[in-house]
Structure 1
């Protein structure tokens, strides 16, 4: 059943560059270290082939956002980025005000390289700063110092009109006072956007093994909640509203690409380990490509794509995704859209109970959203509404 007009939605393209200089001990992303070098020209041809194949399934779209994620996309040559953007433009229409974001690590930031990315078509960068003190950076396995991070931010500011950077909090031994000071310093350097993530211990990472053995101690639940509250207080006071549970921006400066995900719009996933949500033949498909770069490369060269998952979603699955992603946003979800997707309305009795508990509220636009006080228990609220 066709529930939306794909051509009328925002449409994003996510491009995954899976290579890093080193693997951080907390990271469970699809990233790989290759000391022998990377044949970027060969990879470019594979990206272009996968773009062509994906575009054939999604004709008539206008690309509103493009995001180079990883890995460390700033390790790409500007010519590689330019070729991929040209390929996107050949196979889809591109909005005149398209947002093109590229993730960068401070260790791979040079002014000339950033100017090259700007000339290629990138108009927004997101820097993986992660901390503003050297001890924490070392503990997180980062290769840069705080001074190098701030230099990279300054370079980004000089080249791009729009930039953002990430910080991780709830780090081992971190106090609320120290985080408040660090966050205020970050806001002084940020133009419009900050991504502030609470450290999570992911399975199959070095931090997971250290945590299980007791060698890595993170703040307990009460301390983590205090750090979260400090985050909201400091950012709100500075005009960096939390438009999503981990993302703060000045009004109008939200990351448009990430809004595509959270609002349940359509996006194509290109590159090793990239996920997508595309609509074809009146159905919505969840796609994922082969994670291992060399295996992805061979699949694309042999079949025209690296897909290992291509599953048509049921109405219930689409609705659950919309609920799960949309309730991360301060704007919340449209209950009528949920009903159109699922074929049934949200349970008003559950909503009434959650409202009474102070967990949800209704906006002036009639959207249902999680209250700021309940954001730390977002998963539980979503599970209750989806039951």
Structure 2
């Protein structure tokens, strides 16, 4: 256990660095996903074994590779894989390969229960209106889609039209996520997008008319953005009656234009913290409830919740005999029997009468899809990603191979950190529930860290409840890196040793 002075020194040394959220990948970063031979059949067999002791559902992600060309490339900031869209034929070809990947997985996942569906990208609203029925048809060939599950499609303002939205709704899509980033017509030009505020409000109006729930993503920490810019965007969107806003800090990394050429135009970490505080306080004052460091919801005529993300944060929940989550949607079963000490279901079904454990695996179907299959009692499971170049994705499918690029086989410690970090995204951890789930006492294990964070007013620990407070939400990536630093250092050493060993082998 590190000393308090060491913990505070580490925090002070890192708090001025830019934050990089762990929403998508959890622990560890994909830089450590180094297994080039992911045994998909074994992964699927382990899932089948796990399904003997808990109810299993799929949180389904369906990827689209393509984005409109921009100058600078990838909107200047995006770190997600994508390829340039040129014509409809690309999408027709891709849908054919998407169907072929589904057929490879049919023996393992065909007919599996779905919990939610998310169409992401790339840009999933590039399809023409008449392509959404075939897109949903490919999913229906593999799965029965319950009429009451959340089906979200994300896109950008300039490629939404009322005709497309009507076609999406007719095909079974019942929630829209729009990546606005900036409402200001001048600031958005830094991304190279041909986007304007009128397109945003037209989409908001069309979704309202159609009764489609809509969430909007904004970014703070943008080049040349001020607090006034941010507040102007938030006020304009709040005035529309929208019930879900995601306001997140710009991730600056890699070979993006913003990272390489615009750092001098970016707000400092201290200025980003000020934006975070002011944006949060404004939204809370307007009746929004903060559900993650970046997500804010309020009651309204259409649902504001985002089930796909909720299940990503908490992939094991107590539910009733039909697999429906507990009363608050989070399976708050403190003291009930969740998976055993190794984190996997050897105590399943022994909770309160009528309750059973539900495990939500995430399957990333398509280009660059990210999957999480959490395994069986004797195997903590895998995370893996599909190819991030379309030609490689097509090549593997042409050869009858699973189109997997690389993955990571969890150890019990890594799975513990992954589950803890994802739960922390919800700004609270029920320690009793987590102990029943994993066999780990997170209050005791990290007592020195919680103590230092409490001194900073970043967390509050009462009994077995850990709540992220105040600036703690902004600094959550820092907190997670602090908690994992020993394991991450060990993994870095293993990575260096592996690279050195491979070099020596190739030179022999």
Establish whether TM, by shorter chain, passes 0.5: yes
In the alignment, is residue 288 of structure 1 matched against residue 385 of structure 2?
yes
- Among 414, 424, 428, the residue aligned to 1:327: 424
Q: Which of 197, 204, 229 does residue 248 from structure 2 map onto?
A: 197
Is the Cα contact below 8 Å between 2:102 and 2:142 reproduced in 1?
yes
Contact 1:272 1:291 in 2 (8 A): yes
Give the corresponding residue for 1:169.
Answer: 220
CA distance in 2, matches of 1:315, 1:199: 32
- CA drift of 1:32 comes to 1.3
Which one of the candidate residues 249, 273, 276 is aligned to 2:368?
A: 273
Kindly state the Cα deviation for residue 115 of structure 1 after the two structures are TM-superposed. 0.7
Question: Counterparts in 2 of 1:1-387, with a 5 A limit?
Answer: 8=55, 11-22=58-69, 23-35=74-86, 37-58=88-109, 61-211=112-262, 216-251=264-299, 253-264=304-315, 265-280=360-375, 283=379, 284-330=381-427, 332-336=428-432, 338-339=434-435, 343-346=439-442, 347-350=445-448, 351-362=450-461, 366-386=464-484
- Structure 2 residue runs without a partner (length 5+): 1-45, 316-359, 487-508
- Structure 1 spans left out of the alignment, 5+ residues: none
1:172: Cα distance to partner? 2.7
Measure how far apart 1:281 and its partner are: 5.5
Contact 1:315 1:341 in 2 (8 A): no
Q: CA RMSD in A?
A: 2.6
TM-score (normalizing by structure 1): 0.89
Is the Cα–Cα contact under 8 Å of residues 243 and 329 in structure 1 kept in the other structure?
yes
Q: If each structure's strand is expressed as a fraction of its own residues, which one has the higher value? A: 1
Deviations 1:208-265 (A, max 9, x none): 11135xxx42112222111101111111011222201111112562211111222234
Contact 1:11 1:260 (8 Å CA) reproduced: no
**TM superposition shift of 1:168:** 1.4
> Which moved further from structure 2: 90-99 or 288-297?
90-99
CA displacement at 1:152 relative to structure 2: 2.3
8 Å Cα contact 1:15/1:69 also seen in 2? yes
Q: Which residue of 1 aligns with 2:33?
A: none
1:54-87 CA distances to partner (integer Å, 9 max, x unpaired)? 3533466421110011111001234443334333
The alpha-carbon distance between structure 1 residues 86 and 179, as it changes in their structure 2 partners (threshold 3 A), is: same
